[in-house]
Amino acid sequence: MAHRERHRGRSHSPRRLTDSTRNSRSNSRRRDDNNDDNDQQQERRHRSRSPRRSRQPDDNDSAELRVADIVLDPTFVSHGKTFVRYKDALIKPSDCIALGLRRVDAQARRADFVMSDQEQRLWRGWQGLIDFIPGFELTVARASKNYLKIIKASGRSDNINSLLGVVFEWLEREGLVTVDPNDPNSARPARSLKTSLGYINNNTARLLCPCNLNLLEPGVRTSLEGNRVQKTAFPLLFFENYSFGIDTEKLCGALQARLGVWAYQHLMTGPSSVENNLVRGGRKSNSELAGFSHVTYESIAYVLTLLRFTLSSRKSFSWKDKEFKYGVCYDQIITTLKKECERERDEDDLNAGLRVMQWWNTQVFGDGTDEEDVDDPNHMLSLLSTVRADQEATRRALPGPDPTANAS
């Protein structure tokens, strides 16, 4: 029995070794396959991390291809955001580039190039890009069409999120919030209650009401909330003291709200400048980085439209929103300021539009008193000149030596 068991064990032993060897070889092949897969994956990852080489543009390439077939240029991150803030928020920088290249190509071929109204706007955008981006025409072939689209969208969303974090505190500071515990529509406006703002909340409804309507008249508020009435007129949010004035020399107070200035300072010159009411120190502001030391029609329109959105009940922003046409409002602000600045000037070489722009620049960047004025009577050079003049006058007033004393 024992012999049979030993014999059985010996007879089965080769089979177990064979199975073990087969399993070992199978595992080895599996490890080799896995190693090959890992190598391939590492190679793919290496290729994805390695810098992508740009294809040299060909003279026969279309304008769109030259815009799109490039390496992502990080320098265009700031340029894209600057374009949106200061030049035109309603058009894409990439579309301006494509249109500009098409027109340049047409001019090189001496071909006619007729532009529609929208294309003329894109051409102005192209010229704007050339103005504030050094060497733009030389580097445009490396600009990414898709990347610039991302820049445009992300820059706007960053600004909206930043405003949403402070605008409701500003409402409190301005005394624009009235809370009635017995009225659910009089709740204190907050970011967490975004969908309950707009014309639903009493506090935000007063500010969003178009300046040509009376919110207290029967049916007006429900019509505004139900989007059954035109909202083309500027909201009271844009007006000085948040009410429609009668002084046309001040544009009836339009585009001169303190909330608008705070929003501009917060986004363009830094959050701390809102507290100090002046351009902040330390790091350079967005305006300084973009090379702007003054406000523009477009930057005012950009900030005010975003400010209006923060008080609405919408959760996502769109220039073509069905509740409020932000694109139309943006263009209306620019057109109003441009036309008013072109009106006949008075004896001070100003008009209503220029006074509003002067007001904005003073509010945002100060009155210019931080610049040296050598003609200022308090300047040290002026004080020294005064002292020297007084000393010279005193010296001349003193009696001179007696000529007869020397004769004797």
User: Confidence class of residue 200 from pLDDT cuts 50, 70 and 90?
Assistant: very high
Per-residue pLDDT reduced to its tens digit, 77-116: 566 777 888 888 998 877 887 888 888 788 888 999 999 9
Please indicate, yes or no, if residue 178 is contained in any of the structural domains. yes
Are 183 and 81 part of one and the same domain? no
Residue 122 CA to residue 118 CA, distance in Å, equals 6
Asked which of 152, 187, 220 is the last residue of a domain, the reply is 152
pLDDT of residue 76: 55
Per-residue pLDDT reduced to its tens digit, 366-400? 876 566 777 888 889 888 999 999 999 998 888 86
Regarding whether 247 and 172 lie in a shared domain, the answer is: yes
Angle at 367 between CA 365 and CA 368, to 5 degrees: 85
Residue 33 is predicted with a pLDDT of 52
In a domain, 16, yes or no: no
Mean pLDDT taken over the chain = 79
Residue 195 or residue 286, greater confidence: 195
CA-wise closest residue to 189 among 209, 216, 170: 170
| 136 and 261 part of one domain | no
Answer yes or no: is 82 within a domain. Answer: yes
Question: Taking residues 174-195, what's their average pLDDT?
Answer: 94
Residue 46 falls inside a structural domain: no
Query: Which tokens is 198 given?
Result: 């707009």
**Token pair 């001496």 is at which residue?**
110
Rounded-to-integer distance, Cα 73 and Cα 303, Å: 27
Q: Say whether 239 sits in a helix, a strand or coil.
A: strand
Look at the chain and count its residues: 408
Q: What is the DSSP letter of 109?
A: T
Q: Does residue 239 belong to any structural domain of this protein? A: yes
The domain of 316 spans 167-365
340-349 confidence digits (pLDDT tens): 999 999 999 9
Asked which of 93, 119, 152 is the last residue of a domain, the reply is 152
Residue 322 pLDDT > 80: yes
Are 121 and 207 in the same domain?
no
SS3 235: strand
Give yes or no for a contact between 64 and 118, defined as CB atoms under 8 angstroms apart. Answer: no
Q: How many domains are contained in the chain?
A: 2
Asked whether residue 257 is domain-assigned, the answer is yes
Q: Flag whether 124 is in a domain.
A: yes
> Which helix (H) or strand (E) element contains residue 136?
helix 136-139
Residue 292 in any domain: the answer is yes
Please tell me whether residues 134 and 210 are part of one structural domain.
no
Residue 317 sits in the same domain as residue 182: yes
Take residue 16 and report the two structure tokens written for it.
């177990």
Give yes or no for a contact between 274 and 258, defined as CB atoms under 8 angstroms apart. Answer: no
Angle at 290 between CA 287 and CA 295, to 5 degrees: 45
* Tokens encoding 141: 């072939």
Residue with the two structure tokens 């005394």: 175
Instruction: Say which DSSP state 210 is in.
Output: B
Query: Is 92 in the same domain as 186?
Result: no
pLDDT-derived band at 48, boundaries 50, 70, 90: very low
What is the structure's pLDDT at 338?
Answer: 96
DSSP-assigned letters across all residues of 309-327: HHTSS-SS--TT-SS--HH
Looking at the structure, do residues 145 and 189 belong to the same domain, yes or no? no
Q: Are residues 315 and 276 in the same domain?
A: yes
